[in-house]
Chains A and B, each alone.
Chain A
Amino acid sequence: DAMVIQNPRYQVTQFGKPVTLSCSQTLNHNVMYWYQQKSSQAPKLLFHYYDKDFNNEADTPDNFQSRRPNTSFCFLDIRSPGLGDAAMYLCDTGQLNTEAFFGQGTRLTVV
Chain B
Amino acid sequence: AQTVTQSQPEMSVQEAETVTLSCTYDTSESDYYLFWYKQPPSRQMILVIRQEAYKQQNATENRFSVNFQKAAKSFSLKISDSQLGDAAMYFCAYRSQETSYDKVIFGPGTSLSVIP
Q: Which residues of A contact B (CB under 8 A)?
A: 30-31, 33, 37, 40-43, 45, 48, 50, 55, 88, 90, 92, 94, 96-97, 99-100, 102, 104-105, 107
**Most-contacted residue by chain A among B42, B91, B104, B111 (CB, 10 A):** B104
Q: Counting CB contacts under 8 A, is B106 at the interface? A: yes
Of B44, B102, B106, the residue contacting A104 (CB under 8 A) is B44
Separation of A71 and B8 alpha carbons in the complex (Å): 39
Contacts of B67-116 to chain A: CB distance below 8 A: 89, 91, 93, 95, 97, 100-104, 106-109, 111
Which A residues lie within 8 Å of B102 (CB)? 31, 94, 96
- Closest residue of B by beta carbon distance from A33: B103
**Chain B residues near A (Cβ < 8 Å):** 33, 35, 42-47, 50, 89, 91, 93, 95, 97, 100-104, 106-109, 111
Partner of B106, one of A40, A42, A50, A55: A42
> Which among A33, A99, A102 is the interface contact of B33 at CB below 8 angstroms?
A99
Partner of A42, one of B33, B35, B43, B107: B107
Contact A50 B101 (CB under 8 A): yes
Contacts A43-B45, A99-B35, A100-B93 aside, 8 further interface pairs with beta carbons under 8 A come to A50-B100, A92-B104, A94-B95, A94-B101, A96-B97, A99-B95, A102-B46, A104-B42
Q: Are B101 and A31 in contact (CB under 8 A)?
A: yes
Q: Which of B42, B89, B95 sits near A100, CB closer than 8 Å?
A: B95
